[in-house]
Copies of this chain bind each other. A is one copy, B any other.
Amino acid sequence: MDRTLGSNEADAAPEAGAGKQARRSATMRRRLCEAALDVLCEVGFQSLTTPMIAARAGVSRGAQTHHFATKTDMLVGAFEHLLQSWDEARHAAFGGRNLGEVPFEDYLRFVWREIFSKPSYVAALELMLAARVDRELGDRLRHALDSPASQRNLRWRQLLRFPDVRKEEQFQYMTLCLLRGMAIHASFNRSDDVNEAVLEAWIELAETVIAVERPERSVAAATERPRRKMRRVPGA
């Protein structure tokens, strides 16, 4: 906010010479994206303005328009920055660990705690809803999500390992939709009363589904009943 950069002492020592401009540029872009995300969280999409972001980042409007020509550019940048921060959080929590050895409960609690329950996720939802009527924004947000989404699919493959991939995908989307809905609920009803219980209930339900869809003991069973519907669980 009040940290000056560029002119005086900030980068007097750090590596001068090659690619200095590239570094300056990257720093500035990151700073603007962070500011944009902050502003988005604080005042919401409705009253977010580009001057606000520039002020928050402590840079001139000229610098902002140089790096992000339009408001949409700025928003997409903030969105990408958020996606990246999720990657970082995941890396901090699980590193390169194979998710196959992470219990479903642990992973679910992680994504809820570190992603969906944060205000920044609600901010992302605002963007996604705004995309409904802003074609360009929508296309660009979807594009930004392309790679992260397919990487997420891979992670959930590791995590769940259902023999029936379609079932697995359904289960993944179901969980995601549930978390999204919970995020809204938490945001709208200031009290987080039910969410903890719902999360717990879903974990139990999910573990049941997992147990049914993925019978650990016999690998053969995986191919024995392919394409089976997610049917009534008891029956015994």
Q: Which residues of A contact B (CB under 8 A)?
A: 42-47, 119, 122, 125-126, 128-134, 138, 141-142, 166-167, 169-171, 173-174, 176-182, 184-185, 187-189, 194, 197-198, 201-202, 204-205, 207-209, 211-212, 229-236
Contact = CB atoms under 8 A, between A and B. Distances in A.
Scoring A45, A134, A166 by chain B CB atoms within 10 A of each residue's CB, the highest score goes to: A45
Contacts of A229: 204
B232 A207 contact: yes
Contacts of A197: 166, 170
A34 to B, nearest CB: 18
B125 A129 contact: yes
Contacts of A43: 133
Contacts of A45: 46, 129-130
23 contacts: A46-B133, A122-B132, A125-B184, A129-B129, A129-B187, A138-B188, A167-B201, A169-B194, A170-B194, A170-B201, A174-B198, A176-B181, A176-B185, A177-B178, A177-B180, A177-B181, A180-B181, A180-B184, A180-B185, A208-B234, A234-B235, A234-B236, A236-B236
A166 B196 CA distance: 13
Contacts of A130: 44-46, 126
Contacts of A230: 201, 204-205
Nearest to A181: B177
Given A42-B133, A176-B185, 5 more contacts: A176-B181, A177-B180, A205-B205, A205-B230, A233-B233
Nearest to A180: B181
A208 B188 contact: no
Nearest to A43: B133
